[in-house]
Amino acid sequence: MERSKIKMGAALLSVSLLTVLLAACSSSTEASGSDQPATGSHAATTASATAIDNTEAAMIAAARRQLEARLGDDAAAISKKAFARVVWPNGAIGCPRPGRSYTMALVPGYQVVLEVDGRLYHYHGREGQAPFYCARPQGQGGWEMDR
C-alpha cells in the first residue's frame, strides 16, 4: 500500500514537471536579430506576424511590402534575388541574437532575399506566418525542403 502511494506520487510529480517544461518551451522568449521587440516568439512579436497564404508569391509579396515600408521612396527597384522553403534548426529562424536562447526544435519556414541597388535584404519566416527582416542572417539558413 505504501509503495503504491510512493509510485503514484512519483508519477504525478513527473507529469507535473513535464507539463511545466513543455509550457516553458512554448512560451520561451525568442528574438531575431532584426528590428523586432526582444520579447515573445517571432510570431507573437512581429508587427506583421499575421497568418499569410502559404504560397511563394504571398510570402515574397509580404517581404516586399515590408521592405517598401522600410525604404520609402527608395523602394522602386526591389527585385527578388532568392526564395527557399527551409527547415530552420531552431526557434531563432536563422536570425539569432547574441545572448538569447531559443527552442531547440526544427521549424518549417522560408527565406526571401530581396535586392535593391546591389544591397541584399533578408526576410525569414515560419511556415504560414509573415516574414520578418533579418539584419544579420546566420549562415545559409535552414535546410531546403523538397516540395
Mind listing the pLDDT tens digit for each residue in 40-77? Answer: 334 333 334 466 777 899 999 999 999 999 998 767 78
User: Does residue 121 lie within any of the structural domains?
Assistant: yes
Find the helix or strand (DSSP H, E) in which 67 lies.
helix 56-71
What share of residues in the chain are helix, strand, coil (percent, to 5)? 35, 25, 40
Q: Low-confidence residues of the chain, pLDDT below 70?
A: 1-51, 74, 139-147
pLDDT at 73: 73
User: Does residue 6 lie within any of the structural domains?
Assistant: no
User: Does residue 95 lie within any of the structural domains?
Assistant: yes
Share of the chain above pLDDT 70, in %: 59
> CA triplet 28, 32, 33: central angle to 5 degrees?
135
User: Does residue 23 lie within any of the structural domains?
Assistant: no
Domain interval for residue 134: 29-144
Count of domains for the chain = 1
Say which residues have a Cβ less than 8 Å from residue 106's Cβ, sequence separation at least 6. Answer: 87, 88, 89, 90
User: Does residue 70 lie within any of the structural domains?
Assistant: yes
User: Does residue 87 lie within any of the structural domains?
Assistant: yes
User: Does residue 100 lie within any of the structural domains?
Assistant: yes
User: Does residue 118 lie within any of the structural domains?
Assistant: yes
